Structures are given as structure tokens and as C-alpha cells.
Amino acid sequence: MSNKEMIEATIQYYIDGAISGKGDDMKPAFHEDATIFGYIGEDLFAGPIQKLFDWNDENGAATELQAKIANIDIEGTVATVRLELDNWTGHKFTDMFTLLNTDGKWKVMNKVFHLHG
């Protein structure tokens, strides 16, 4: 697999977890020390990536989710991904991920997101 294909496969774990509504389904995409940052209204949603998994479990399945990788930029062992998500249980998000290739596997190290109004 090419680096691009491996990154797409990593992001697919995240998408699949959103669709299933199960945080455990998206965990393989993330490094254990990954973080998340973004605003929900005026409130900062920030911290260890476990916050995302917990939110996803509470939010439930997003069976109508439409996801599109808008951009992948790779330089050596680092990469960024822009992901557009529409109808995540009625919400539209833009996610930006930073990834690192560790031990031959691409893992998300950080997720920042924008919740569209």
C-alpha cells in the first residue's frame, strides 16, 4: 500500500466509528496520546482523544453520514488530512488531522474540528 492508501485506511476507521456510533470502532485510527480541540457553540471541546470516543458513544450511530477526504498532504513521516463530514446526526463538521508514521503505521496524533452553524 502507498502512504496515501494507508492514511485513507486510517481515516476510514474514524468514519466507520462515526457511522456505528461506537468509539471503540474509531480507536485504531488514533495514537493513544492523541488530542482533540474544537468549539461546540462558544464552548471549547478539548482534551485527550478519549473525550471524542465518549462523545461518540453518547451521540449514537450516524447512519446517514456523508464523509469526503478533501485533502491529504504527506511529507516524510508526517501528514495532514482535511475531512468534510455532512449529516453527522444532523451536524456538519470540518475535521483537520495531523498524522505521524510510527513503526510503519499512520496514526492520528491530533484532531481539530469546526462545527458549522
pLDDT digits (tens, 9 = 90+) for 35-64: 999 999 999 999 999 999 999 999 999 999
- Domain with 43 in it: what CATH number? 3.10.450.50
Global confidence as pTM: 0.95
Provide the number of structural domains found in the chain.
1
Residue with cell 491529504: 72
**Euclidean distance between the first and the last CA atom of the chain, given in angstroms as a whole number:** 38
pLDDT digits (tens, 9 = 90+) for 16-42: 999 999 999 999 999 999 999 999 999
CA distance 52 to 70: 21
